[in-house]
Chains A and B, each alone.
Chain A
């Protein structure tokens, strides 16, 4: 069995639980994934499998990508990703893994690419307080002083400043699985998941807090 699946964020909605609570959920399409390559201790130095998700048109793929996958099967997968194997389990190239590796009530970590925010100021990017909006103030959203003068005569490394924000990989941990639809390959998760609708995500068995 694998410890993670590749998927896609479809969007958010609300559903009722059995006891009548109305909860916000994210709907993910997770799997089915095909094993496209198996990495072994002898050859690669570690054990893992490479999964392929979502069919692609062959004419849209590069020959290199097609060639790599043609060793396993005829189908071309758009998205490839490497995931770890659960101890003691074994998979062959061409095997299929589905969303049923997750169960309701289980907690998962979900990684995705966050929405790009462009060049953002310190207010938005680092949650700086900023100055007062009124009362004659001319200091609103600027970063303020970024250091001392002649000594040390430089800006310290790691100083939080404006810059590009978002569009980077981010993992949200310990999200609860509310529903698993093996037929439609859907995973319903409590709460929000990084990234825009239609973005690719990786759903992993949780790392922290598991017994």
Chain B
């Protein structure tokens, strides 16, 4: 059996196990509900930020990166898309962007680091 086939089968299984794939697009502001296991206890941690990249294609290895600025410091977290620990991804605001990877946000700070909201009437200011 070829490797690609074997892995494809494995990855299908994995994707099915992760019942629902989160739906979002690059530039969206999201809240990621991530299950954290500490010994016996479990709790949900919420990470809010902008989706700046998605990698790994369509397989079970796909990941997405969320960036937020916390206390003036940029923080990025990479989540596995199909991880059973990602409980849900809430889209708070849809962003209008012209790139698949928003790495240019890293060099910007403050107002320049905003992502335009989708739609005509709402602006970032209005929503906040």
- Among the stretches A12-20, A40-48, A162-170, the one at the interface with B is A12-20
Contact of B1 among A14, A16, A29 (CB under 8 A): A29
Residues facing A in B13-28 (CB within 8 A) are: 14, 17-18
Q: A20-B35, A20-B85, A184-B1 are in contact. Are A13 and B18 (CB under 8 A)?
A: no
Q: A20-B83, A20-B84 are in contact. Are A15 and B1 (CB under 8 A)?
A: no
- Among the stretches B4-12, B47-55, B66-74, B96-104, the one at the interface with A is B4-12
Q: A10-B3, A11-B7, A15-B14 are in contact. Are A20 and B37 (CB under 8 A)?
A: yes
Number of interface residues of B (CB under 8 A): 20
Inter-chain contact B83/A22, CB cutoff 8 Å: yes
Number of residue pairs across A and B with beta carbons under 8 Å?
49
- Asked if B30 lies at the interface with its beta carbon under 8 angstroms from chain A, I say no
Inter-chain contact B35/A13, CB cutoff 8 Å: no
Q: How far is the CA of A204 from the CA of B83 in the complex (A)?
A: 32
Inter-chain contact B3/A16, CB cutoff 8 Å: no
Q: A14-B61, A15-B60 are in contact. Are A27 and B3 (CB under 8 A)?
A: yes
- Asked if B82 lies at the interface with its beta carbon under 8 angstroms from chain A, I say yes
Number of interface residues of A (CB under 8 A): 18
Chief secondary structure at chain A's binding surface: strand
Chief secondary structure at chain B's binding surface: mixed
Contacts of A188 in B (CB 8 A): 10
Residues facing B in A1-41 (CB within 8 A) are: 10-11, 13-16, 18-20, 22, 27, 29
Chain B: CB-nearest residue to A22: B80
Return B56 CB to nearest CB of chain A, in Å.
10
Inter-chain contact A16/B83, CB cutoff 8 Å: yes
Return A42 CB to nearest CB of chain B, in Å.
39
Contacts of A22 in B (CB 8 A): 80, 83
Binary contact readout B75-105 vs A (1 if CB under 8 angstroms, 0 otherwise): 0000010111100000000000000000000
Q: How far is the CA of A198 from the CA of B1 in the complex (A)?
A: 10
Q: How far is the CA of A188 from the CA of B9 in the complex (A)?
A: 12
- Asked if A186 lies at the interface with its beta carbon under 8 angstroms from chain B, I say yes
Inter-chain contact B7/A16, CB cutoff 8 Å: no
Inter-chain contact A10/B6, CB cutoff 8 Å: yes
Inter-chain contact B84/A16, CB cutoff 8 Å: yes
Contact of A16 among B2, B6, B9, B14 (CB under 8 A): B14
Q: How far is the CA of A155 from the CA of B61 in the complex (A)?
A: 52
Q: How far is the CA of A18 from the CA of B61 in the complex (A)?
A: 16
Q: A20-B83, A20-B84, A184-B1 are in contact. Are A13 and B37 (CB under 8 A)?
A: no
Q: A11-B3, A15-B60, A20-B37 are in contact. Are A27 and B10 (CB under 8 A)?
A: yes
Q: What are the nearest 8 A-B pairs in CB distance?
A: A20-B85, A10-B3, A11-B3, A20-B84, A13-B7, A27-B6, A10-B6, A29-B1
Please name 16 pairs of A and B residues whose Cβ atoms are closer than 8 Å in the assembled complex, sorted by A. Answer: A10-B6, A11-B3, A11-B6, A13-B11, A13-B61, A15-B10, A15-B14, A16-B17, A19-B37, A22-B80, A27-B3, A27-B10, A29-B1, A184-B6, A188-B10, A197-B3
